Amino acid sequence: MIRSFLNRVNNGYISKFMQKKKLSGLFSKAVLVLILISIVPIVIIGYHVMGVDSRVLKNEILQKQQTMAGRLSAVARGYINRKAQLFSLFVDLRTDFSGHQFITLQDLRYLSERDPSIAYLALLDIKGKKLFSVENTRNPINYEAVLPDILRVCVEEGEDYIGGVYQQPEGMFALLAFPVQKKGKETKVAGILVAQMNLKEMDGSLSQAYPLDMNAFVATATGKILSYNGAPEGLDTETQKELEEKVEAINVQLKGRNNGEVTLPDGKRILVARVSLMVPPWRVYVEQPSNVATQLFVESTFHSSWDVLILFIAMLVFVVVVSYWVIKPITRPLERLREAVIKQQQNEDFVVKKEELYIPNNEIGELALAFVEMSDTLYARRQELLRAQEELAHVNQELEQRVEERTRALKEASSELVKAERLAAIGQMASIISHEIRNPLAVISNATRLIKMLVPSPDPKLSKQFNIIEAEIKQANSIISEVLGYARTRDLILTTIDLNSYLRELILSYPVTPGITIREELDVENVQIKVDAEEIKQVIRNVISNAVEAMPNGGTLTVGTKTGRRLVCIYIADQGMGLTEEVRQKMFAPFFTTKARGTGLGLAVVRKAITRHRGKLFIKSSLGQGTCFQIYLKIYKKPGDTNYGEPS
């Protein structure tokens, strides 16, 4: 309601303010400000010029990077070509000018001794079987996977094979293979010379060729890094995951181009140029940050820090003068008005006064006056709303109390009516059961006794059947008594009893089942209670009976008391399996039982008796840990005048 009222008030004052708007004052100053800020196009043009120059510089930088990448590729290609020419020349000389028809093991040893970069030499036949080899390394390359390619290139095509690069514990190695002809049979390949070359010699050439102001690196066609400037000994001896990810991003974004701008996975932008080698299939990359062009432009435009400082001071003076001349007359009253609005927000009962605001003779002054008037009106309306809300809250509170009282009375009346109807039905049923069943049971019992008297020495089996009949008759009479006991309601016969003595007599008179141990935990402070002794006896016996039945395998049954200030607690705890939540919800309902035989009235009788004595009944139970029944009754008399605390 308050928010809608504020909206209506604001809309009214805004329309009033718009009607009084003048064409002087702040309007003319705003025009002057617009003229002053027309210098923005100059800044835009300057920014455009900087962008054009940056693009030109960027293209020049890319061309420089492309040239540098070409030079590095020439160095790498030259090294591989020199090694390939060395082996080709060796094969030709040994097959054409040696004294033997084919390359021998001594020839391989001679070549291995002459060139320390050779780590492994092997001569294969045209089917790929190794004839002999010279090994200068403990980890020769396993070329079995690429042997079909070697045979195809060297035997079928008669060309030199330059394979991939392999990372070994001793360094980086390249695999090469060359066709070998027998002496006098130049056109027919008789074997294959396989060489494993250590690329460490390429370190010196690449290290000298790498630029100092750019990042450069060499990678295979699969993206594995071979070398980069700054690498130990020039070659990549460890996996460079960051560089490999950079190579992957460059190849994906450049596609068919040789240079351009690339965005890396971490968001950085770089200028990169690349050159591909045909043999071997390597690529050379030269890159540097993308903002290098902007940095060069700034450095060339502002020759020194004094230029930047002078320009900054001039702009600062200009902004200060314009702000003081144009903005200050606007911001001063608005600042006062903002402070008043904040106070209004923090304190709803705050009323803005004219003396607290700066009211110039222009549109802002009219706005300030309108706000003062709105604050007064809002305060008055708020007081009215508060009074109305207090009255409404008082009426609502009275109505809620009346509804709560009537609802409680209705629930109590309904509950008593249901109980009365249920007890009446149970009582009627119990009377019928007592009349219709007990008489036949009495006849059966008398007939059984007569038969036993007529048979002088009955058979043991017949005696057993007589005992079963008598036990079942006793069980039926017990069930009828339970039903009648629950259905009939008699007046309480109150007597004063000594609680500890009363409980000891009950425990001694209760028939203890074998395997069950009864433990007493009676409070040393003995009290007297005023109850119907027979009803409470039935209550305790029913609870003990349930506890005993909950421990079919035996256990300890604890019966104890705990004395409080006005109440005494009688608790009976077993060590059975405990109760589920479903059983706890239904256990006091009449005729509900989980036993194979029983009426389900034992705990219903307990609850009814405790309710008639205005006591309280609580149950604590955990699955697998047993159950504890707690019966709270009012203390009638205590010995002495000592005060006691309530049971915890």
Least confident of 94-98, 339-343, 509-513, 531-535: 94-98
- CA within 13 Å, CB half, 384: 9
| Domain end marker among 444, 464, 489 | 489
For residue 28, being part of any structural domain is answered with: no
Rg (CA), the chain: 54
Tell me the whole-structure pTM to 2 decimals: 0.40
| Domain end marker among 441, 458, 489 | 489
C-alpha triplet 146, 149, 154: angle, nearest 5°: 125
Place of tokens 């421990």: 551
- pLDDT computed for residue 599 by the predictor: 56
CB 301 within 8 A of CB 228: no
| Domain end marker among 489, 504, 532 | 489
Is pLDDT larger for residue 437 or for residue 559?
A: 559
The CATH number of the domain holding residue 592 is 3.30.565.10
Amino acid symbol at 331:
T
Place of tokens 């890094």: 225
Q: What does the block give as tokens for 211?
A: 């630029």
Going from the C-alpha of 498 to that of each of 10, 120, 190, 505, 639, the distances in angstroms are 80, 109, 122, 11, 11
**455 and 355 assigned to the same domain:** yes
Q: What does the block give as tokens for 360?
A: 């110039």
Q: What is the mean pLDDT of the chain?
A: 76
For residue 35, being part of any structural domain is answered with: no
Q: Phi first, then psi: what are they for 415, rounded to 5°? A: -65, -45
**Residue 473 to residue 441: CA distance in whole angstroms:** 6
> pLDDT tens across 577-627, in order?
887 777 676 666 665 565 645 555 667 778 888 888 888 888 888 887 888
Q: What is the 3-state secondary structure (H, E, C) of 165-233?
A: EEEECCEEEEEEEEEEECCCCCCCEEEEEEEEEEHHHHHHHHHHHCCCCCEEEEEECCCCEEEECCCHH
> Which of 27-31, 569-573, 578-582 shows the highest mean pLDDT?
569-573
Is pLDDT larger for residue 121 or for residue 17?
A: 121
> Average pLDDT in the 48-66 region?
74
- pLDDT computed for residue 23 by the predictor: 42
**474 and 524 assigned to the same domain:** no
For residue 570, being part of any structural domain is answered with: yes
For residue 592, being part of any structural domain is answered with: yes
Tell whether the model's pLDDT for residue 303 goes beyond 70: no
DSSP 409-453: HHHHHHHHHHHHHHHHHHHHHHHHHHHHHHHHHHHHHHHHHHHHH
**523 and 415 assigned to the same domain:** no
> Average pLDDT in the 358-376 region?
75
How many CB atoms neighbour CB 414 within 10 A? 10
pLDDT band (50, 70, 90) for residue 644: very low
pLDDT band (50, 70, 90) for residue 632: very high
Put the strands of the sheet holding 282-289 in their side by side order.
225-228, 215-220, 282-289, 269-276, 259-263
The residues near 514 (Cβ < 8 Å, ≥ 6 apart) are: 554
CB 274 within 8 A of CB 215: no
**Residue 357 to residue 374: CA distance in whole angstroms:** 14
**558 and 548 assigned to the same domain:** yes
Is pLDDT larger for residue 174 or for residue 322?
A: 174
DSSP 357-379: S---SSHHHHHHHHHHHHHHHHH
Closest CA to 57 of 67, 65, 46: 65
Least confident of 337-341, 360-364, 514-518, 598-602: 598-602
Share of the chain above pLDDT 70, in %: 70
> Average pLDDT in the 4-29 region?
45
The CATH number of the domain holding residue 190 is 3.30.450.20
- pLDDT computed for residue 339 by the predictor: 76
**455 and 505 assigned to the same domain:** no
**358 and 374 assigned to the same domain:** yes
**Residue 482 to residue 645: CA distance in whole angstroms:** 38
**496 and 583 assigned to the same domain:** yes
**Residue 535 to residue 541: CA distance in whole angstroms:** 10
> pLDDT tens across 490-511, in order?
677 889 998 888 888 888 888 8
Tell whether the model's pLDDT for residue 381 goes beyond 80: yes
- pLDDT computed for residue 489 by the predictor: 63
Is pLDDT larger for residue 137 or for residue 356?
A: 137
For residue 19, being part of any structural domain is answered with: no
**Residue 108 to residue 133: CA distance in whole angstroms:** 8
End-to-end CA distance of the chain: 50
**Residue 222 to residue 95: CA distance in whole angstroms:** 36
Least confident of 180-194, 231-245, 346-360, 565-579: 231-245
Domain span holding position 425: 302-489
For residue 180, being part of any structural domain is answered with: yes
Instruction: With H, G, I as helix, E, B as strand and everything else as coil, classify residue 569.
Output: strand
Tell whether the model's pLDDT for residue 12 goes beyond 60: no
Q: Phi first, then psi: what are they for 178, rounded to 5°? A: -135, 140
Q: Phi first, then psi: what are they for 132, rounded to 5°? A: -165, 165
Is pLDDT larger for residue 458 or for residue 197?
A: 197
For residue 68, being part of any structural domain is answered with: no
> Average pLDDT in the 81-87 region?
79
- CA within 13 Å, CB half, 412: 6
**396 and 319 assigned to the same domain:** yes
**530 and 623 assigned to the same domain:** yes
Tell whether the model's pLDDT for residue 46 goes beyond 80: no
CB 426 within 8 A of CB 486: yes
Least confident of 85-99, 139-153, 515-529, 581-595: 581-595
Q: What does the block give as tokens for 425?
A: 């039905």
CB 509 within 8 A of CB 496: no
Tell whether the model's pLDDT for residue 191 goes beyond 70: yes
What's the number of domains the chain is made of? 3
Least confident of 378-387, 471-480, 558-567, 633-642: 471-480
CB 223 within 8 A of CB 251: yes
The residues near 369 (Cβ < 8 Å, ≥ 6 apart) are: 354, 359
Q: What does the block give as tokens for 562?
A: 């705990």
pLDDT band (50, 70, 90) for residue 304: low
Looking at the DSSP bridge assignments, the partners of residue 627 are: 621
Is pLDDT larger for residue 368 or for residue 43?
A: 368
> pLDDT tens across 234-250, in order?
555 566 788 888 888 88
**Residue 51 to residue 413: CA distance in whole angstroms:** 89
Is pLDDT larger for residue 397 or for residue 52?
A: 397
- pLDDT computed for residue 586 by the predictor: 63
Share of the chain above pLDDT 90, in %: 3
> Average pLDDT in the 222-227 region?
79
**Helices 363-454 and 460-487 sit at what angle, rounded to 10 degrees?**
140
**584 and 546 assigned to the same domain:** yes
Looking at the DSSP bridge assignments, the partners of residue 135 are: 120
> Average pLDDT in the 94-118 region?
77
Tell whether the model's pLDDT for residue 26 goes beyond 60: no
The residues near 75 (Cβ < 8 Å, ≥ 6 apart) are: 202, 205, 206, 209
Least confident of 144-148, 299-303, 382-386, 396-400: 299-303
**462 and 599 assigned to the same domain:** no
Tell whether the model's pLDDT for residue 571 goes beyond 90: yes
> pLDDT tens across 107-122, in order?
888 888 888 888 888 9
**Sign (positive or negative) of CA dihedral 588, 590, 594, 597:** positive
Is pLDDT larger for residue 434 or for residue 346?
A: 346
**388 and 373 assigned to the same domain:** yes
For residue 601, being part of any structural domain is answered with: yes
